[in-house]
Amino acid sequence: MFLWATALFASLAAAQTYPPDVVDQLAASSLSKVKDWLAKNPQGNCTLETAVRRKEWMDLTLAQRKEYTDAVLCLMSKPALTSSAAPGAKSRFDDYIVVHIQQTPRNHGSTFFLPWHRYYVWHYEQALRNECGYKGYQPYWNWDRYHKDPAKSPLFDGSEGSMGGNGAKANYNGIMIPGAPRPYDRIPPADGGGCVTTGPFKNMTVNLGPIAPVLQLPRNPRADGLGYNPRCLRRDINKHSAAVTSANHVLEVITQENAHWFQTVMEGQFPQGKWGIHAGGHYSLGGGDPGGDFYVSPGDPAFWLHHAMIDRVWWIWQIQNLEKRLKEVSHTRTMGNFPPSANGTLDDLSGLGVLAPDVKVRELMSTLGGLMGKFCYIYE
């Protein structure tokens, strides 16, 4: 094993509470494949040595975690760019929710799901760095570390080094999973559901949505969810949903042989009662608001750690065979192929609305040299 891979594995093993799981081990042992690919396909100044290393939340120091949440709060304090089209958008943080609301039907259950979210999370990271002085990089949420009881984990314990606490206890019926057979058609409620009152986001205001709420909430004044509808951040940190995000579930996704089955298993096979790690991670926030709302979910700051993990899983799958998988996309151009559409291609365009221009999907496939050389990161 190369020295840098050995060092990475040692840094993972050094975590006192969370030793490397089977997916961490696979990621570390696969870096030799990345080195071989880069030797044949140099990416300018982007090398394994110069690439940013995105880290798991609890592998950051307390100071680094606080720096991240302070940057998120900073973004929430800056004026929106999208308020003319979305009167409910009051901050730069809200701008990202607006774009997600507008593009949800195109960028879920379609060719664009993985590359678009890679672009989206990277752009958010750059906003934190360029507009709020954040010196780090987007952390991810390794679901396996916390899946047994996420509400009591350091990620959601409400301390100053967390992503905020659970919500107060509130009664609701759980989360219905469309098309799933019993008992998998419902994720039971846990011990939250009300307003978050601890941690960095205890005073946060959710402005946009709801569109597809789980909880009984005040309706948005606009049918598209883009009107002004201020309310508290709500969560129901949910171990029932988190149970399907353990390392063995992640490994099942990564060991799929082609892009079709990789994405299909990741996004869930609801008719078979399989929620998938994508929905499982989202609904680890339970029937919260906006975390439990398909369209408005980026309004919970934990969303960004979840989707960085989604991107990490895709990256680990890709690096098993970079020559093939950097060119491999699947699914059609519409969500769930409704309405029916053609298969997507690497030459299709994907963009972030007013935030960033359209680029070809092929520019979003590689974390090393993608986006005309702007992407240069890997995951620890």
Q: Which residue has the higher pLDDT, 323 or 11?
A: 323
pLDDT of 323 above 50: yes
Average pLDDT of every residue of the chain? 94
H/E/C letters for each residue in the chain? CCHHHHHHHHHHHCCCCCCCCHHHHHHHHCHHHHHHHHHHCCECCECCCCCEEECEHHHCCHHHHHHHHHHHHHHHHCCCCCCCCCCCCCCHHHHHHHHHHHHHHHHCCCCCHHHHHHHHHHHHHHHHHHHHCCCCCCCECCHHHHCCCHHHCCCCCCCCCCCCCCEEECCCCCEECCCCCCCCCEECCCCCEEEECCCCCCCCEECCCCCCCCCCCCCCCCCCCCCCCCEECECCCCHHHHHHHCHHHHHHHHCCCCHHHHHHHHHCEHHHCECHHHHHHHHHHCCCECCCCCCCHHHCCCHHHHHHHHHHHHHHHHCCCHHHHCCCCCCECCHHHCCCCCECCCCCEECCCCCCCCEEHHHHCCCECCCCCCCEEEEC
The 10s digit of each residue's pLDDT in 71-125 is 999 999 999 999 999 999 999 999 999 999 999 999 999 999 999 999 999 999 9
Average pLDDT over residues 247-267: 98
CA distance 355 to 57: 26
pLDDT tier, 64 (very low <50, low <70, confident <90, very high otherwise) = very high
pLDDT of residue 23: 98
pLDDT of residue 215: 84
pLDDT of residue 11: 45
pLDDT of residue 287: 82
Asked if 48 and 41 touch (Cβ cutoff 8 Å), the reply is no
pLDDT of residue 182: 96
pLDDT of residue 1: 45
Average pLDDT over residues 186-190: 95
pLDDT of residue 12: 43
pLDDT tier, 14 (very low <50, low <70, confident <90, very high otherwise) = very low
CA distance 77 to 39: 44
* Whole-prediction pTM: 0.95
Tell me what percent of the residues of the chain surpass a pLDDT of 70.
96
pLDDT of 252 above 80: yes
pLDDT of residue 211: 95
The 10s digit of each residue's pLDDT in 196-218 is 999 999 999 999 999 998 888 99
The 10s digit of each residue's pLDDT in 210-244 is 999 888 899 999 999 999 999 999 999 999 999 99
